[in-house]
Structure 1
Amino acid sequence: MLEDFYVKDKKGIYEYILGGCLDSRLLNIRIFAEPTKTSVYQSQTSNAKEQGVSNCPLCAIGSNNNKSRIYKQSEMDADHVTAWSKGGSTDVGNCQMLCKTHNRAKGNK
């Protein structure tokens, strides 16, 4: 029964998920489109190669071996510069590619 899934603090929980709605348009609202990810990856990687730094902006400011590493797109995640949970939009202007380690450590900061 749905009552068994009652959550007191509903912040970040959306009715269409709890209600079983399968409309993928709703569920993908915070996921960047593949063409956006590819475009941002290519631009970021090109700029990083010109500067001799990593294409992960957080690795690039570090001091370890990854500061000049060029990651493959499959080794990176699309990240909201301004967190989605804080009102950041899911568009090319708010997208950056981060290595998977940095993206997962960043959370909604």
Structure 2
Amino acid sequence: MHKVENLKIWSKAIELVKKVYLLISELPKDEKYGLVSQIKRSSVSIPSNIAEGAGRNSNKEFKHFLSITNGSAYELQTQIILTIELKLLTKEKVQPLIDNCIELQKMNYSFQQKL
């Protein structure tokens, strides 16, 4: 088992969730049950799956949850891009979040290789 609070990837994922929540507060209210809900779920899923994996009994199980984490990071990245494509937010506003998603994806891949 790994102590989740000591994992840099988990801390970065928590920071990403906080940034996502700040950004989505700018989305239209009529997206509350659509894109906003999806973005919230996928962003929260990232540190949640890291934590769940860290609490498992083997590195093999942990890797499985990191795989799910990666899927959620790509899902979030896609949803953020959709906010640009749908002209809900500007690229300049969301690019830092896209960059954070890509950084987490790379960190996750490296971490999986080390386990």
Return the TM-score normalized by structure 2: 0.26
Return the TM-score normalized by structure 1: 0.27
**Larger helix percent:** 2
Greater Rg by CA: 1
Structure of greater relative contact order (alpha carbons < 8 Å, 6+ residues apart): 2
**Larger strand percent:** 1
